[in-house]
Structure 1
Amino acid sequence: MGGCQSYNGSGDEASTTLAAHYNDLSILKLKNNNIQNAPSLEEKPYLQEHFLRDRIADIDLFTLSALPHSLEQQEWIAFNTISFFQNITLISSALSEFCTLTTCPTASGPGNKVYEWTDEQGRRLKCSAPLYTDYALSYIQELLTDENVFPTRAGAQFPPGFMFLVQKVFLLLFRTLAHLYRAHYRDAIAMEIHPQLNTLFTHFITFTHTFRLLEPSETAPLDDLITALLL
């Protein structure tokens, strides 16, 4: 059963509820024009309990992530991959004015983790965070619109290497989120969109755990946050 964008199953209502909250970011982004300085906080503000507990919805994310009955796993994963890409792009865009060549000369995650981009020739390139994010999201967008990878036609089949490509997408999305937490969580607090970021990241990690889409070594830079959010 192909057609990853046509799914309207039992988890769709809850997903739509979350998506509506995430979509508020297009309006909240306007707030940053009035922000001069984010609050003065310690090195990992995202671990402070009064910020950590801020969420946008009280939804059982484990149930939301679980494969619905009578739906193929690849179709469910494809549907959610598209949704996560759209929502992470929204939140990244909302914070993009804070992520510049000057503020973020390297693509970094927590623990001084530096992410390098691998080009089509296999060369590893050190680049700024905004450039890395642009590379990553553009690459994912190209995959998602490729009918040979994410088919939308009824009866179309997913390719043999589908899960490998999905894991690569989730790795790039994780790194995008990791940089936002490392470098721009104060900005998210100042814009009052940290509840959206917290909920989105919790949902994302819950889904990756459910379908084993990321290696523990890749998520290690945010293990302290993941543990706190999933308790």
Structure 2
Amino acid sequence: MASSVLSSKKSRTFRPKKKWEKGTMKHELHKKAKASLHSGVDLRAAVRLPPEETYNDWVAIHVVDFFNRINLIYGTVSDYCTDATCPIMSGGQKYEYLWADTDRYKKPTALSAPQYMSMLMEWIESIINNEDVFVVQAGVPFPKTFIPICKKILTRLYRVFVHIYIHHFDKLVVLGAEAHVNSCYKHFFYFVVEFKLIEGKEFEPLQHLTAKLCY
């Protein structure tokens, strides 16, 4: 588990907590989605909305799964991603990501990569654990803001991939995590493209990698 290599300062943030309660419709949907990924089905086909499922439910279970998986992926390299090594949350020399929220940072603010990651994971966790947004009860409608919120979550999670691939790829190779991260990236990319959940400009930092892995 990634959490075993994290410092106590980081362990609370980089530990996925969101799970669908067993026996609920979303838990069954979650199992179905995961099963399709291990049955030899092409990832492009696996992300498509099943005819018997609803769009919002399908997006919800994938957002939670991607949060959990990307959270742990970052955890594998977080010991190498420090204020000293990564004083800017960036994706190479051309791309810098500023942090803003409605609480502590109301204006876009430059943070170190680990500070940005910590704020991001806590922010996402607070949203997906809010049952007024990520509805868990059958028959209760999602709010109108649900998809815009998911787009923002997924866009920011994509930036985690950008930072890891550009600044810590060598560590992924040493740790033997390259194949796993590549698979997760492909799954994520196919999903957000299938449902147009991230603007095209966000893909620019990894366009060459994407062309190699996904096309």
TM range (shorter): 0.7 to 0.9
User: Within 5 Å, which residues of 2 pair with 1:154-169?
Assistant: 154-169=138-153
2:36 is matched with 14
RCO comparison, higher one (Cα < 8 Å, 6+)? 1
1:131 is matched with 115
Distance in 1 (alpha carbons) for counterparts of 2:53 and 2:178? 33
User: Within 5 Å, which residues of 2 pair with 1:82-93?
Assistant: 82-93=64-75
Distance in 1 (alpha carbons) for counterparts of 2:185 and 2:83? 25
**Structure 1 residues 8 and 223: alpha-carbon distance in aligned structure 2, compared to 1, 3 A threshold:** closer
Q: 1:187 aligns with which of 171, 179, 194?
A: 171
* 1:100-140 alpha-carbon deviations (Å, 9 max, x no partner): 01110000113531101013263111010000011111111
Distance in 2 (alpha carbons) for counterparts of 1:62 and 1:110? 28
**Structure 1 residues 160 and 145: alpha-carbon distance in aligned structure 2, compared to 1, 3 A threshold:** same
**Unpaired segments ≥5 residues, structure 1:** 18-56
Distance in 1 (alpha carbons) for counterparts of 2:26 and 2:170? 36
Structure 2: which amino acid aligns with 1:14? S
2:91 is matched with 109
Q: CA deviation at 1:94?
A: 1.1
Structure 1: which amino acid aligns with 2:62? N
**Structure 1 residues 152 and 83: alpha-carbon distance in aligned structure 2, compared to 1, 3 A threshold:** same
Root mean square deviation, CA, Å: 1.9
Q: 2:190 aligns with which of 202, 206, 225?
A: 206
Distance in 2 (alpha carbons) for counterparts of 1:83 and 1:165? 16
Say which is worse superposed, 86-95 or 103-112, in terms of deviation: 103-112
Q: Secondary structure at the match of 2:51?
A: coil
Q: CA deviation at 1:219?
A: 1.4
User: Between Structure 1 and Structure 2, how many residues are aligned?
Assistant: 190
**Structure 1 residues 175 and 8: alpha-carbon distance in aligned structure 2, compared to 1, 3 A threshold:** closer
Overall identity of the aligned pairs, in %: 28
Distance in 1 (alpha carbons) for counterparts of 2:136 and 2:28? 7
Question: Structure 1 length normalisation: TM-score?
Answer: 0.77
Checking the alignment, whether the CA contact within 8 Å between 2:30 and 2:61 is kept in structure 1 is: no
**Structure 1 residues 59 and 99: alpha-carbon distance in aligned structure 2, compared to 1, 3 A threshold:** farther
Q: Secondary structure at the match of 1:172?
A: helix
2:60 is matched with 78
Q: CA deviation at 1:204?
A: 0.4
**Structure 1 residues 65 and 86: alpha-carbon distance in aligned structure 2, compared to 1, 3 A threshold:** same
1:100 is matched with 82
Q: CA deviation at 1:8?
A: 4.9
